Amino acid sequence: MTEAKKKKPARELISIIIPCYNEEEVIEQCHSAVTEVIDALPYDFEIIYINDGSRDNTRSMLDALHKKDKRAKIFHLSRNFGKEAAMTAGLDHAKGDAVIILDADLQDPPHLIPEMLRLWKEEKADVVYGQRLRRQGETWLKRKTARAFYKIINFISAIDIPVNTGDFRLMNRRALDALLKLRENHRFMKGLFAWIGFRQIALHYNREPRAAGTTKWNYIKLWNLALEGITGFSITPLRIASMFGFLISLFAFAFGIFIILHTLISSHDLPGYPSLMVMVTFLSGIQLLTIGILGEYIGRIFGETKKRPLYFIDETLE
């Protein structure tokens, strides 16, 4: 038997990236659900857990998982850097021919991994992104605000971000290498995923409630993430501020001409202290709003000029 016949063809490696922050209640269930699916697939796998500075028992539980399953590779970040940075850490260290990003709470169902891999292979997709049909376990307000956010950002941005998508997706090596070239500190990953382009296919699914634990996303964090998305992928707010300034200045000029002509013709001053107060407070509000918009963009510039690393790793188990 020749040497060529003796060698088995190398199987492709798939990297599964799971960011974790205080997920002690669900991490073992997550690993069991993932391994149950991948054990039946004709690929090699590495499961990359990024511990994003958890304060509960997540760290020790991940260390125990690594001892039981060497496919589990653990990266403990030095502190909580946020999910966007944690995902980036996982993507940086992924060695696979394709990567799949999952949430540890099992709202992104691992049983869709085979379908993602099928679309990657059969449809020649560079990116297969999960698109939610239903969002169970979320409040009415959260669903409405999420829908409004997607409408706003797609209206003002030149990049089309698919509606009702999260971070749950598969990316091949070509798409991943392109994404890793984008190193901005203020990261809105949904926008970056869309920005790189390539052939992207949607995989529709119903999002389930969390398997256990509580969400780490409150409305303040969601608001800040929305601001990152809007300021990171559009300058339309600056243009709107400029338009407001021009229109108000035009109105003020026209109103000033009206007052002068009225006074010359009728010889009477126009009374109007209440209307004056309304105009002053209105204009003050517009000025503060404009300053706030400028501040958001200047803050992004300030953050980028410092060129700080996106994260630091405290310990690695591979």
Determine how many CB atoms are found less than 10 A away from the CB of residue 27: 26
For 72-135, the DSSP string reads: EEEEEESS---HHHHHHHHHHH--SSEEEE--TTSSS-GGGHHHHHHHHHHS--SEEEEEEEEE
**Alpha carbons 86 and 185: distance in angstroms, whole number:** 12
**10-residue stretch averages of pLDDT, the chain, 318 residues long:** 55 91 88 91 93 90 90 92 90 93 88 92 90 70 72 73 83 93 84 87 79 60 68 71 73 70 66 62 73 79 82 89
Same domain, 104 and 243: no
Same domain, 16 and 56: yes
**What tokens appear for 87 in the block?**
């995902």
Same domain, 94 and 150: yes
Helix, strand, or coil (residue 314): strand
Same domain, 286 and 207: no
Same domain, 117 and 129: yes
**Alpha carbons 80 and 60: distance in angstroms, whole number:** 16
Same domain, 158 and 278: no
Residue 54 per-residue DSSP state: -
Same domain, 245 and 291: yes
Same domain, 207 and 114: yes
Position 185 scores a pLDDT of 83
Same domain, 249 and 277: yes
Same domain, 279 and 205: no
Same domain, 188 and 254: no
Structural domain of residue 291, as residue ranges? 236-305
Task: Please tell me the total count of domains within the chain.
Answer: 2
Position 269 scores a pLDDT of 58
pTM of this structure: 0.75
Position 1 scores a pLDDT of 43
Same domain, 250 and 144: no
Write the CATH number for 9: 3.90.550.10
